[in-house]
Structure 1
Amino acid sequence: MNHVIDTATMTVPFLCVIILYCLILTGLGWYGSQKNKGLSDYFTMSGKAGAILTGIAYFSTQYSMSTFMGVPGSIYHVGYAGMSVSVPGIAFSMLIPALLVGRRLITLGHRYNMLTMADYLADRYESTGVRGLLAVLMLIFLVSMMGAQTIGGGVIFTTYTGAPEWVGIVVMGVTVMLYCMAGGIRSIMLTDLIQGILMVVTAVVTFFVSLKLGGGLEVINEKLAAMDTNYVSFPGHNNSYPWQGYVSMIVMWSFFAIGQPHLFTKFFTMKDHKTMFKAVILGTLGMWFSASFIEWCGVTGIISFPGLEGKQSDFVVPLILQGGLSPILSSLMIAGIFSAGMSTISSLLLTATSAASRDLYQKILKRNATDEETLRLSKVITVCLGIIAIGIGIYKPGSIFQIVLFAYGGLGIWAAPILLGMYWRRTTTAAVYVGVISAEILYVLMVVKFTSWSFGFNPLIVAWAFAMVVMIVVSLLTKPASEATIRRHFDDLDRRADAA
């Protein structure tokens, strides 16, 4: 059965909603620019952000275009087993990092004015080289992830207006570029607040619309079971999720959020530990609601819109919205999907900017550069990186999910030096170089050619485990950090925690 979006009835409402939406976001960017007083404000709001802003900003950043299109599309071919994989992994992607590294990062950020993930790693391992290595990898992987998000914007724009994909890619990219350049993290968090709320509303509304189209949940489940009992049981239709894949996806999206610089730095923006606790509750609830409801639509859509094949299944959510809502309301909900891409792009763009302007320029290439000079350069770099991301989106080197998955894995390996550096005093600088570089090479080899080396797991899990083993061995054979650094990162923090 062929299902298509009715472009004729959707173009005008869609354009009106998207234009108004982009203007509001640009206005928030201007507002944020009036509040910034320096580099620390630009990148972390000087560590003064409250629970609502940080909680919603975290989950808005984590949830991308793939969450609202690619994931429901993949679940459409699997059934409930797909939800059992995706929902736990995504919903706990803030809770686990907060428990493992959040408290220490807030303390370190406030005490030593740390603004980036590289600030932490360079200080812990007493190495400018580690800063440079991370900054270069961040630029490669983060800009690739940005490009992937713009692809989704282009596809939606084409689907609803008939215009070329590059038009939507440029609209999304330029809007994000403008408000990021203007106000930095403050503008991003303010826009994330709107985008996060819109994402939750879109997820809930789409789910209940899908129930109405399918005749109710009981009827939908009965029809699914009649088609194939594996749609309502594990491991899913066509045995889609063997246990290795099940474990991999949950661990990837929850635990490895620790190694993602754009999520890592959110802890530097938080006011204090109480703020983090409230933000985690709010962010986790937001992620759980959004993930559960929007991904459930991939299951209910099997009945409402049967016969979607290949990439057509990525449009199951837009099809549900158009089939059950008026053009105006449907367009407003589609703006929620647009939000998922824009909120992720904005944080990726600012984090990549910090890698170039602070980590490479101010801390390595020109160490006497002032914060004011670095801030001016940051705005120029934001534009340059935004243009590159737009170019990647237009060129489209791969699917949204493929690009995001690859880049996420490349950065996830950094969870090894973060965790060992935070919990094992003996971890050394040499271990970071050897462990990370060798693991990155192994990861790329497994993705590109030697897939059997991963034993059925996602290559990131195997590469990270390899990095941990190598780092432990090398650390035992090489010189640890100085006593002053160990005291700063362990003894002083532990005494502060005991006093609290």
Structure 2
Amino acid sequence: MNPTDPTVITFGIYLLAMLGIGWAGYRATTNLSDYILGGRSLGSFVTALSAGASDMSGWLLMGLPGAIYLSGVHEAWIAVGLTIGAYLNWRLVAGRLRLYTERTDNALTLPDYLAGRFEDTSNVLRVVTTLVILVFFTVYCASGVVAGARLFESMFGMPYSVALWVGAACTIAYVFIGGFLAVSWTDTIQASLMITALLVAPAVAYFAVTGQLQPTQSIAEMIGAEKFDWMHNASTIGVISLLAWGLGYFGQPHILVRFMAADSVASIPRARRIGMTWMVLCLGGAVAVGLVGIPYFMLNPGLAAGVQANAETVFIEIAKQLFNPWVAGLLLAAILAAVMSTLSCQLLVCSSALTEDVYRIFLRKNASQRELVWVGRAMVFAIAVVAILIARNPDSRVLSMVSYAWAGFGAAFGPVIILSLFWRGMTRNGALAGIVVGAVTVVLWKQAGWLGLYEIVPGFVLGALAIGVVSRAGRRPSAAMLARHDRVGAEMKSLQA
């Protein structure tokens, strides 16, 4: 690694800027609510872009382009499913969750909300929710560590074992220092960087390819008709599995917490429009990178060694080969931005669950706000170390790790969140049954691989059924719980009028 290399310098400036924002977040953090939810102060623009950036992670610039490069547009069914799911999440969940968490004693975390929503004084629901978050987020965090390691390995020639620690350290630093505000502010910058990279890179690669074509050649012919076929080598179950990624949105804690942190319900509609526009453009750019990479590396076989070894580096190789080193450094920083934005939010959600729902509730009920903030910082570091240890295998693939964690959260929490917001008859035991059945189904289905169906589908369906059966079979919700649910519903109607 040459410290005078323009790419390295650009990267360094970017990282220093993120640390500077982390310091600003530190100065604005005075209590646990600030550290884990930003004091519910995010406006529409920051809410939208931080939700998008924390959602997409490294798979947007690595996993998805690599899948398209290898298999063609039928892999883009994932993007279709995600777009539908994200829109419904903004439309159905965002505003109501923002209001409901405030009306349940200003709940700061997902376990906190569920415990308050269902008046769970035993804290069983809180503990089970926290355990599920920790189990699946360690896998999710590990996927972010792998993506960061791949970037540092490819850019600087670092051994994978070293790149793991360097990439993770870049994220840990500003989360540790600044908490939720730093994460949200940096997400806004990183989302802007991601969309710029995903629009510029495929456009430049396209013109590079057309400049090398012979009169008898065309880009479409070089890519091949089968890679433009949405159903090529795709079964009905395969398409359903890819579309089903959209179900995952309703249960992702790191996305839901962005809705909870919005400054008001009134900010949600504008945030939805901004967020969905950003998402559609980014997904389209990622698909375009994978497709245009096919003819580019066919015409330049001497440059294709990295992509042949690992298709998930197609964006990295295009950026390195086609752009001035200064610009390439900025584009490659977009991958780090994607990794950092998601990993930082995941670390913070895990830290929040351990601090607010375990440490404060069971160990130190009278802990000061300063003590809780520092416990939260310690938890960030501890969870990051565990994620690094999980990610040690150099053969790890980002997309496969993300899909497992995504399914776990979507099945365990998706039905619970939706029904808790809209069904007044749902009970504490119903919520508990839904979380356990959804999570266990995902784990068992993943191991067995039944029918080749993505495990989120049976997990989501069985989790929802468990909620309905157990809620109806048990004791009716209390009068206070029903009254609060009705008040929230009435308030939402008045706000939407």
**Match status 1:211 vs 2:206:** yes
8 Å CA contact 1:173–1:389 kept in 2: the answer is: no
Structure 2 counterpart of 1:447: 446
Structure 1 counterpart of 2:459: 463
Which has the higher mean CA deviation after the structures are superposed, 121-130 or 21-30? 121-130
SS at match of 1:69: helix
Residues 478 and 311 from structure 1, CA distance in 2 versus in 1: closer, same or farther, beyond 3 angstroms?
A: farther
Per the TM alignment, residue 11 of structure 1 is displaced from its structure 2 partner at its CA by 8.6
Residues 163 and 251 from structure 1, CA distance in 2 versus in 1: closer, same or farther, beyond 3 angstroms?
A: same
Structure 2 counterpart of 1:172: 167
Per the TM alignment, residue 343 of structure 1 is displaced from its structure 2 partner at its CA by 0.6
Distance 1:173 1:432 in 2: 34
Distance 1:90 1:209 in 2: 26
Structure 1 counterpart of 2:483: 487
- Counterpart of 1:56 (choices 49, 52, 72) is 49
Distance 2:27 2:436 in 1: 41
Q: Which amino acid aligns with 1:242?
A: S
**Match status 1:28 vs 2:27:** no
8 Å CA contact 2:107–2:116 kept in 1: the answer is: no
Q: Which amino acid aligns with 1:91?
A: T
Q: Could you list the per-position Cα deviations for residues 239-277 of structure 1 after superposition, in whole angstroms to 9, with x for gaps in the alignment?
A: 1x323222322231x332110111111111101122111
- Counterpart of 1:94 (choices 78, 86, 102) is 86
Residues 497 and 132 from structure 1, CA distance in 2 versus in 1: closer, same or farther, beyond 3 angstroms?
A: same
Q: Which amino acid aligns with 1:269?
A: A
Distance 1:150 1:327 in 2: 25
Alignment of 1:309-388 (within 5 A): 311-388=309-386
Structure 2 counterpart of 1:262: 254
**Match status 1:281 vs 2:273:** yes
Per the TM alignment, residue 470 of structure 1 is displaced from its structure 2 partner at its CA by 2.1
Per the TM alignment, residue 87 of structure 1 is displaced from its structure 2 partner at its CA by 2.7
Distance 2:415 2:212 in 1: 43
Q: Could you list the per-position Cα deviations for residues 49-87 of structure 1 after superposition, in whole angstroms to 9, with x for gaps in the alignment?
A: 11111111011111111110111111112223333x133
Q: Which amino acid aligns with 1:258?
A: F
Q: Which amino acid aligns with 1:302?
A: I
Q: Which amino acid aligns with 2:416?
A: P
Q: Which amino acid aligns with 2:357?
A: D
Distance 2:10 2:374 in 1: 33
Q: Could you state the TM-score of these two structures normalised by the residue count of structure 1?
A: 0.91
Distance 1:425 1:220 in 2: 65
8 Å CA contact 1:221–1:232 kept in 2: the answer is: no
Residues 178 and 327 from structure 1, CA distance in 2 versus in 1: closer, same or farther, beyond 3 angstroms?
A: same
**Match status 1:192 vs 2:187:** yes
Which sections of structure 1, spanning at least 5 residues, go unmatched?
1-6
SS at match of 1:208: helix
Which sections of structure 2, spanning at least 5 residues, go unmatched?
none
Distance 1:416 1:364 in 2: 28
Q: Which amino acid aligns with 1:181?
A: F
Distance 2:397 2:50 in 1: 25
Q: Which amino acid aligns with 1:383?
A: F
**Match status 1:478 vs 2:474:** yes
Identical-residue share of aligned pairs (%):
24
SS at match of 1:305: helix
Q: Which amino acid aligns with 2:458?
A: V
Structure 2 counterpart of 1:103: 95
Q: Which amino acid aligns with 1:438?
A: V
SS at match of 1:394: coil
Q: Which amino acid aligns with 1:437?
A: V
Structure 1 counterpart of 2:231: 235
Per the TM alignment, residue 370 of structure 1 is displaced from its structure 2 partner at its CA by 3.7
Residues 217 and 54 from structure 1, CA distance in 2 versus in 1: closer, same or farther, beyond 3 angstroms?
A: farther
Q: Could you state the TM-score of these two structures normalised by the residue count of structure 2?
A: 0.91
Residues 143 and 220 from structure 1, CA distance in 2 versus in 1: closer, same or farther, beyond 3 angstroms?
A: farther
SS at match of 1:77: helix
- Counterpart of 1:272 (choices 252, 257, 264) is 264
Alignment of 1:9-28 (within 5 A): 12-28=5-21
Distance 1:121 1:232 in 2: 45
Distance 1:207 1:317 in 2: 9
Which has the higher mean CA deviation after the structures are superposed, 20-29 or 370-379? 370-379
Distance 2:94 2:154 in 1: 41
Q: Could you list the per-position Cα deviations for residues 466-488 of structure 1 after superposition, in whole angstroms to 9, with x for gaps in the alignment?
A: 11112211222111321111211
Structure 2 counterpart of 1:3: none
Distance 2:21 2:261 in 1: 18
**Match status 1:425 vs 2:420:** no
Residues 226 and 191 from structure 1, CA distance in 2 versus in 1: closer, same or farther, beyond 3 angstroms?
A: closer
How many equivalent pairs are there?
484
- Counterpart of 1:120 (choices 100, 103, 113) is 113
- Counterpart of 1:244 (choices 226, 233, 237) is 237
Per the TM alignment, residue 373 of structure 1 is displaced from its structure 2 partner at its CA by 2.6
Per the TM alignment, residue 313 of structure 1 is displaced from its structure 2 partner at its CA by 1.6
Per the TM alignment, residue 93 of structure 1 is displaced from its structure 2 partner at its CA by 4.7
8 Å CA contact 1:214–1:220 kept in 2: the answer is: no
**Match status 1:78 vs 2:71:** yes
8 Å CA contact 2:247–2:456 kept in 1: the answer is: no
Q: Which amino acid aligns with 1:19?
A: G
Residues 143 and 15 from structure 1, CA distance in 2 versus in 1: closer, same or farther, beyond 3 angstroms?
A: same
- Counterpart of 2:294 (choices 302, 305, 314) is 302
8 Å CA contact 2:160–2:394 kept in 1: the answer is: no
Which has the higher mean CA deviation after the structures are superposed, 43-52 or 342-351? 43-52
Distance 2:487 2:79 in 1: 38
Distance 1:349 1:118 in 2: 16
Per the TM alignment, residue 398 of structure 1 is displaced from its structure 2 partner at its CA by 3.4
Q: Which amino acid aligns with 1:303?
A: P
Q: Could you list the per-position Cα deviations for residues 22-68 of structure 1 after superposition, in whole angstroms to 9, with x for gaps in the alignment?
A: 11111110011111121111111211111111111011111111110
8 Å CA contact 1:149–1:345 kept in 2: the answer is: yes
- Counterpart of 1:40 (choices 6, 11, 33) is 33
Residues 294 and 15 from structure 1, CA distance in 2 versus in 1: closer, same or farther, beyond 3 angstroms?
A: same
Distance 1:186 1:201 in 2: 23
8 Å CA contact 1:90–1:291 kept in 2: the answer is: no
8 Å CA contact 1:443–1:460 kept in 2: the answer is: yes
